[in-house]
A and B are shown apart, each in its own frame.
Chain A
């Protein structure tokens, strides 16, 4: 009985029960749910699947294999850490929707068919938007609506794709959707639509800006939840449906590169983390595109460790926002005096994401890089190497430097609350442990691997060279004053197209329609006026036919008429 319970369902049902708890216990309840659900997942036997017939369709609501299991584990861990971090939140809606979001994301990675995937896909979109609305500002409301439109749009594309795909192949099973050649050119329209739906959630270039637009508007705790699930669900879906798709290599490289330039100039530090998140997804997408066992292992391992250190970075920036009320780099600096623990945890996250040896990022990224080398993708390797320096710039240095060091802002505040420090501390310990002992993580990967990240000492040394010389360049830039100063400002991105250009066009089109309407109305008025004038001329009070004529002329006319008719009669 326990075994047939779909993973995630405990959290979904439990979320509904949270409001029944006393107000003070709801946050604890939200923390308990993913813990209970994780215990249930561990008890599940290794490879079960549940099939049901529904309305003539054969559905597989639960499919447990190695790929879904590792995402299931990390989603649970992320949920537990985020719920611990959110222990102070008293907003019930936030707890309930966060748990709905978590439960549906977990359900989605265990979905064995496309319809189940679609259902969970939409629930993640609908529930997560409340984490943005919960900030209760005009900006967050508007950003939330934009986020919802794009996320639901992705769901609509997914559903259309699923229906077409079902007509083509007669099966709803969610397995590899791309052909063995890995070419999108041979794929059907249905598969293309599914690919596009995944691509939106995965923040492909030009489809990415919902991420940087919405996440920085979420609450302190909401952003921690958001950073973990939506995009990594997309990574899972791509790894399941599109491994070895050639196009993904190019898409991934572009994804690793363009956000790093935006991250340099962005002032909102949580938005910097969003650009960084986008760049990290690029590494995973490259791995999926290469599609070898080692590359897929790399992509999945990267997703696993990324959820932890990105969560840690969002937690530390959230703690700064919680204590100081601002997250603008231009307002911050010197906080290490007030928040030493948060500073230390943030640095662990920064070193992990930059892939310092002995930190978690290194053991995952090395797998992907080795797969790139193995396939001899020279340009991809060069691109990822530039992107690695970029990660060091925005996440390794900029985030900790502008928040905790740099110019002293004069802000003196309290250290982050205990439960936040505990959540950050636990995450930091995981980041370091995985860096030292990657064995257990490697054992969970979808394919067996004998990879040894520290076998080649020269590899670690050159990686340290790359990172420390990049840090040196940063120091030189700051000392010479060449580094651009942080100013209160925003940066335009593709959201400008739909927040500025499209409304401006719409306004232009509406105003020209209005002009056409106006001239039409004018023409009708003009014609009416002419007609009226003509009628009045003849029939009006002063008109020809209303004149008072002398009786004599009337008699004359009658005589003429009668005379004429008489003549006609005789003719």
Chain B
């Protein structure tokens, strides 16, 4: 249910952006859906990279207690 609400909010925002243009300072900002894609891809990449990082850096909780 929450997931569906989230998806519809996202769709609504993309439509709204077409109506209310952002004042673009950099050229890519005026591409439709740039910020939407950026947010999605960034978070995805952050989690995937973080997961990799965790494989190397995770230790037991008592690692330092000796």
User: B13, A475: Cβ atoms under 8 Å?
Assistant: no
> In terms of DSSP, what is the predominant structure of the interface of chain B?
helix
A487 at interface, CB cutoff 8 A: yes
List residues 1-54 of chain B with CB under 8 A from any CB of chain A: 2-3, 6-7, 9-10, 13-14, 16-17, 20-23, 25-26, 29, 33-44, 46-51, 53-54
Q: A484 contacts which of B2, B38, B51 (Cβ < 8 Å)?
A: B51
Whether B35 lies near A462 (C-beta < 8 A) is yes
Provide the residues of chain B in CB contact with A462, threshold 8 Å.
Answer: 17, 22, 29, 34-35
Cβ-defined contact, A469 with B50, below 8 A: no
| Residues of A close to B9: CB separation below 8 A | 468
Interface residue count on the A side (C-beta < 8 Å)? 51
Asked if A489 and B60 sit within 8 Å, CB to CB, the answer is yes
Q: Is the CB of B17 within 8 A of A473?
A: no
Judge whether B6 and A465 touch: CB under 8 Å: no
* Count of A-B residue pairs with CB < 8 Å: 148
> How many whole Å from A453's CB to the nearest CB in chain B?
13
Shortest Cβ gap from A511 to chain B (Å): 17
With A261-B46, A389-B43, A474-B43 as known contacts, state yes or no: A484 contacts B6, CB within 8 Å: no
Cβ A466 vs Cβ B35 within 8 A: yes
Q: How far is the CB of A101 from chain B (nearest CB, A)?
A: 26
* Interface residue A456 (Cβ < 8 Å from any Cβ of B): yes
How many angstroms between the C-alpha atoms of A483 and B50 in the bound complex?
Answer: 10
- Contact status B42-A385, CB under 8 Å: yes
Interface size on B, residues (CB 8 A): 45
Is A525 among interface residues, defined by CB-CB distance under 8 A?
no
Contact A392 B43 (CB under 8 A): yes
> What is the CA–CA distance of A260 and B39 in the complex, to the nearest angstrom?
14
Q: Which residues of chain B have a CB within 8 Å of any CB of chain A?
A: 2-3, 6-7, 9-10, 13-14, 16-17, 20-23, 25-26, 29, 33-44, 46-51, 53-54, 57-61, 63-65
**Residues of A with Cβ closer than 8 Å to B?**
138-139, 260-265, 373, 378, 381, 385-386, 389-390, 392-393, 456-459, 461-477, 479, 482-484, 487-493, 499-500
17 A-B contact pairs sorted by A residue (CB < 8 Å): A263-B50, A264-B46, A265-B57, A378-B26, A389-B42, A389-B46, A393-B46, A456-B22, A465-B14, A469-B39, A472-B7, A473-B39, A473-B43, A484-B51, A490-B59, A490-B61, A491-B59
